[in-house]
Protein backbone atom coordinates (compact mmCIF):
# COMPACT_ATOMS: atom_id res chain seq x y z
CA UNK A 1 0.00 0.00 0.00
CA UNK A 2 1.83 3.10 -1.27
CA UNK A 3 -0.42 5.72 0.37
CA UNK A 4 0.49 9.18 -0.97
CA UNK A 5 3.27 9.34 -3.55
CA UNK A 6 4.89 12.55 -4.75
CA UNK A 7 7.06 12.99 -7.83
CA UNK A 8 9.67 14.25 -8.30
CA UNK A 9 11.42 14.15 -4.91
CA UNK A 10 13.92 16.89 -5.80
CA UNK A 11 14.08 19.54 -8.50
CA UNK A 12 16.13 22.63 -9.28
CA UNK A 13 14.64 25.27 -11.56
CA UNK A 14 15.77 28.58 -12.94
CA UNK A 15 13.66 31.68 -12.37
CA UNK A 16 10.88 31.87 -14.95
CA UNK A 17 10.78 28.15 -15.74
CA UNK A 18 7.61 26.15 -15.28
CA UNK A 19 7.01 22.72 -13.83
CA UNK A 20 4.32 20.40 -12.48
CA UNK A 21 4.43 18.43 -9.25
CA UNK A 22 2.42 15.22 -9.20
CA UNK A 23 0.64 13.71 -6.24
CA UNK A 24 -1.00 10.30 -6.39
CA UNK A 25 -2.99 8.49 -3.70
CA UNK A 26 -4.29 4.93 -3.71
CA UNK A 27 -6.67 5.17 -0.74
CA UNK A 28 -9.72 6.33 -2.73
CA UNK A 29 -9.78 9.58 -0.76
CA UNK A 30 -12.05 12.38 -1.90
CA UNK A 31 -10.02 15.24 -0.47
CA UNK A 32 -6.51 16.24 -1.49
CA UNK A 33 -4.27 19.12 -0.43
CA UNK A 34 -1.05 20.87 -1.37
CA UNK A 35 1.05 22.50 1.38
CA UNK A 36 4.40 24.22 1.41
CA UNK A 37 6.87 24.19 4.29
CA UNK A 38 9.60 26.79 4.65
CA UNK A 39 12.62 26.29 6.98
CA UNK A 40 11.69 26.24 10.66
CA UNK A 41 8.02 26.80 9.97
CA UNK A 42 4.84 24.80 9.92
CA UNK A 43 2.91 23.86 6.80
CA UNK A 44 0.80 26.37 4.87
CA UNK A 45 -2.05 25.33 2.60
CA UNK A 46 -1.69 26.33 -1.07
CA UNK A 47 -4.72 24.74 -2.76
CA UNK A 48 -7.05 21.87 -2.04
CA UNK A 49 -9.65 19.74 -3.78
CA UNK A 50 -12.87 18.28 -2.40
CA UNK A 51 -13.34 15.88 -5.29
CA UNK A 52 -12.55 15.08 -8.90
CA UNK A 53 -12.83 18.16 -11.09
CA UNK A 54 -12.94 20.64 -8.20
CA UNK A 55 -10.24 22.84 -6.69
CA UNK A 56 -10.14 25.72 -4.23
CA UNK A 57 -7.63 28.26 -2.92
CA UNK A 58 -5.90 27.88 0.40
CA UNK A 59 -3.86 30.29 2.48
CA UNK A 60 -1.03 31.01 -0.02
CA UNK A 61 -2.34 30.30 -3.58
CA UNK A 62 -0.58 33.05 -5.56
CA UNK A 63 1.84 31.81 -8.22
CA UNK A 64 0.40 28.27 -8.24
CA UNK A 65 -2.30 26.44 -10.18
CA UNK A 66 -3.78 23.01 -9.58
CA UNK A 67 -5.85 20.41 -11.37
CA UNK A 68 -7.74 17.30 -10.26
CA UNK A 69 -8.72 15.51 -13.47
CA UNK A 70 -8.69 12.09 -11.81
CA UNK A 71 -9.71 11.28 -8.26
CA UNK A 72 -6.38 9.71 -7.43
CA UNK A 73 -4.18 12.52 -8.79
CA UNK A 74 -3.67 16.14 -7.75
CA UNK A 75 -1.26 18.27 -9.77
CA UNK A 76 0.46 21.47 -8.61
CA UNK A 77 1.83 23.77 -11.29
CA UNK A 78 4.25 26.65 -11.20
CA UNK A 79 3.84 28.68 -14.40
CA UNK A 80 6.78 31.04 -13.88
CA UNK A 81 8.95 29.97 -10.96
CA UNK A 82 10.30 32.61 -8.56
CA UNK A 83 13.01 32.27 -5.87
CA UNK A 84 10.32 32.87 -3.21
CA UNK A 85 8.81 29.53 -4.23
CA UNK A 86 11.88 27.64 -3.03
CA UNK A 87 10.36 25.31 -0.46
CA UNK A 88 9.40 21.76 0.41
CA UNK A 89 5.99 20.86 -1.01
CA UNK A 90 3.78 18.27 0.65
CA UNK A 91 0.69 16.64 -0.71
CA UNK A 92 -1.93 15.12 1.57
CA UNK A 93 -5.23 13.33 1.24
CA UNK A 94 -8.13 12.48 3.52
CA UNK A 95 -11.34 10.49 3.39
CA UNK A 96 -13.35 13.47 4.60
CA UNK A 97 -13.05 16.81 6.37
CA UNK A 98 -14.80 15.90 9.61
CA UNK A 99 -12.84 16.73 12.71
CA UNK A 100 -11.95 13.10 13.37
CA UNK A 101 -10.53 12.43 9.89
CA UNK A 102 -6.73 12.39 9.72
CA UNK A 103 -4.76 13.57 6.71
CA UNK A 104 -2.17 11.30 5.10
CA UNK A 105 0.97 12.98 3.77
CA UNK A 106 3.54 12.20 1.12
CA UNK A 107 7.26 12.55 1.73
CA UNK A 108 7.56 15.86 -0.06
CA UNK A 109 9.16 17.47 -3.10
CA UNK A 110 12.18 19.64 -2.41
CA UNK A 111 12.17 22.48 -4.93
CA UNK A 112 14.93 25.07 -5.38
CA UNK A 113 14.49 28.09 -7.65
CA UNK A 114 17.73 29.77 -8.68
CA UNK B 1 -9.30 26.67 13.91
CA UNK B 2 -8.30 27.59 17.47
CA UNK B 3 -4.64 28.12 18.30
CA UNK B 4 -2.33 25.75 20.17
CA UNK B 5 0.83 26.48 22.16
CA UNK B 6 3.68 24.00 22.49
CA UNK B 7 7.23 24.22 23.87
CA UNK B 8 9.80 24.76 21.15
CA UNK B 9 11.95 21.81 22.15
CA UNK B 10 12.23 18.94 24.62
CA UNK B 11 14.80 16.29 25.41
CA UNK B 12 14.36 12.75 26.58
CA UNK B 13 16.54 9.78 27.34
CA UNK B 14 16.10 6.62 25.36
CA UNK B 15 13.66 4.08 26.83
CA UNK B 16 12.13 6.65 29.19
CA UNK B 17 8.58 8.01 28.91
CA UNK B 18 8.05 11.37 27.24
CA UNK B 19 5.21 13.77 27.98
CA UNK B 20 4.68 16.40 25.29
CA UNK B 21 2.33 19.19 26.44
CA UNK B 22 -0.05 21.30 24.38
CA UNK B 23 -2.17 24.23 25.53
CA UNK B 24 -5.37 25.09 23.69
CA UNK B 25 -7.28 27.41 25.98
CA UNK B 26 -9.65 28.64 23.23
CA UNK B 27 -10.73 25.17 22.15
CA UNK B 28 -14.39 24.85 21.19
CA UNK B 29 -16.69 22.00 22.04
CA UNK B 30 -16.47 20.50 18.55
CA UNK B 31 -12.69 20.69 18.12
CA UNK B 32 -10.82 17.42 17.90
CA UNK B 33 -7.23 17.33 19.16
CA UNK B 34 -4.83 15.82 16.65
CA UNK B 35 -1.15 15.00 17.01
CA UNK B 36 1.21 14.54 14.09
CA UNK B 37 4.94 14.10 13.97
CA UNK B 38 7.47 14.86 11.27
CA UNK B 39 10.65 12.83 11.07
CA UNK B 40 13.65 14.41 9.32
CA UNK B 41 13.16 14.67 5.56
CA UNK B 42 9.68 13.13 5.71
CA UNK B 43 6.12 14.33 5.57
CA UNK B 44 3.96 14.68 8.68
CA UNK B 45 2.72 11.39 10.08
CA UNK B 46 -0.55 10.95 11.95
CA UNK B 47 -0.04 9.86 15.56
CA UNK B 48 -3.33 10.06 17.43
CA UNK B 49 -6.45 12.15 17.93
CA UNK B 50 -9.20 12.54 20.51
CA UNK B 51 -12.18 14.64 21.52
CA UNK B 52 -12.86 14.31 25.24
CA UNK B 53 -11.65 10.97 26.53
CA UNK B 54 -8.08 9.74 26.79
CA UNK B 55 -6.99 7.65 23.81
CA UNK B 56 -4.43 4.91 23.31
CA UNK B 57 -3.01 3.37 20.16
CA UNK B 58 0.09 1.44 19.21
CA UNK B 59 2.15 4.60 18.82
CA UNK B 60 1.19 6.72 21.81
CA UNK B 61 -1.40 7.81 24.36
CA UNK B 62 -3.30 11.07 24.45
CA UNK B 63 -4.33 12.49 27.79
CA UNK B 64 -6.93 15.26 27.60
CA UNK B 65 -7.58 17.57 30.54
CA UNK B 66 -11.07 17.55 31.95
CA UNK B 67 -11.70 21.15 30.80
CA UNK B 68 -10.07 20.28 27.42
CA UNK B 69 -7.84 23.36 27.56
CA UNK B 70 -4.71 21.26 27.45
CA UNK B 71 -3.57 17.84 26.38
CA UNK B 72 -0.47 15.67 26.63
CA UNK B 73 0.98 13.24 24.13
CA UNK B 74 2.66 10.37 25.91
CA UNK B 75 5.33 8.19 24.34
CA UNK B 76 5.70 5.33 26.77
CA UNK B 77 9.28 4.36 25.90
CA UNK B 78 11.16 6.80 23.71
CA UNK B 79 13.43 5.37 21.05
CA UNK B 80 15.93 7.14 18.84
CA UNK B 81 13.42 6.81 16.00
CA UNK B 82 10.98 9.01 17.94
CA UNK B 83 13.21 12.07 17.47
CA UNK B 84 10.99 14.37 15.42
CA UNK B 85 8.93 17.55 15.45
CA UNK B 86 5.57 16.92 17.11
CA UNK B 87 2.57 19.04 16.15
CA UNK B 88 -0.58 19.51 18.21
CA UNK B 89 -3.48 20.65 16.01
CA UNK B 90 -7.13 21.42 16.63
CA UNK B 91 -9.61 20.45 13.96
CA UNK B 92 -13.35 21.07 13.79
CA UNK B 93 -15.86 19.58 11.39
CA UNK B 94 -15.75 22.56 9.06
CA UNK B 95 -12.09 23.26 8.42
CA UNK B 96 -10.56 22.22 5.13
CA UNK B 97 -6.97 22.12 6.25
CA UNK B 98 -4.76 21.48 9.21
CA UNK B 99 -3.02 24.53 10.68
CA UNK B 100 0.51 23.49 11.58
CA UNK B 101 2.43 25.68 14.02
CA UNK B 102 6.17 25.31 14.74
CA UNK B 103 5.58 22.23 16.94
CA UNK B 104 7.92 20.74 19.56
CA UNK B 105 11.27 19.38 18.45
CA UNK B 106 11.93 16.22 20.49
CA UNK B 107 15.52 15.04 20.89
CA UNK B 108 16.13 11.52 22.22
CA UNK B 109 19.46 10.90 23.85
CA UNK B 110 21.02 7.42 23.81
By the 8 A CB rule, do A66 and A47 touch? yes
Name the pLDDT band for A100 (thresholds 50, 70, 90): confident
The answer on pLDDT for B1 being more than 60 is no
Residue/partner pairs of B12-16 with CB below 8 Å, 24 or more apart: B12/B75, B12/B78, B12/B106, B12/B107, B12/B108, B12/B109, B13/B78, B13/B108, B13/B109, B14/B78, B14/B79, B14/B80, B14/B108, B14/B109, B14/B110, B15/B77, B15/B78, B15/B79, B16/B77, B16/B78
For chain A, list residues whose CB is within 8 angstroms of any CB belonging to chain B: 4, 31, 33, 35, 37, 40-45, 48, 50, 56, 58-59, 90, 92, 97-100, 102-108
Identify from A98, A99, A107 which residue to disrupt to test chain B contact, counting B C-beta atoms within 10 A and taking the largest count. Answer: A99
Nearest-angstrom CA–CA distance, A82 and A10? 16
Mean pLDDT of A36-62: 91
- The tens digit of pLDDT for each residue in B34-46 reads 999 999 889 999 9
| Chain A residues within 8 A of B43 when measuring between CB atoms | 4, 90, 92, 105-108
Task: Name the phi and psi angles at A72, rounded to 5.
Answer: -85, -10
**A-B contacts (CB, under 8 Å):** 65
Whether the bond between B24 and the residue before it is cis, its omega within 30 degrees of 0, is no
Handedness of CA A112, A21, A7, B98 (dihedral sign): positive
Give me the residue from B31, B42, B97 closest to A48, CB to CB: B97
- The tens digit of pLDDT for each residue in A12-23 reads 999 999 999 999
Average pLDDT taken over every residue of chain A: 93
Comparing A59 with A6, the larger pLDDT belongs to: A6
The answer on pLDDT for A112 being more than 80 is yes
∠ CA(B5), CA(A32), CA(B96), 5° rounding? 45
- Predicted pLDDT at B35: 96
- The tens digit of pLDDT for each residue in B59-76 reads 999 999 999 999 999 999
Amino acid sequence: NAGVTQTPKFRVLKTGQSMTLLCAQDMNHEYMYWYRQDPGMGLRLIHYSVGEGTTAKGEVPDGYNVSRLKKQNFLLGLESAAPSQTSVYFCASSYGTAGNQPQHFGDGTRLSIL
Amino acid sequence: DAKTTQPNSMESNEEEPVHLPCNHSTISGTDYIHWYRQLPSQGPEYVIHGLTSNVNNRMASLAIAEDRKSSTLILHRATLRDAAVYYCILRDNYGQNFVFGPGTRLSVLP
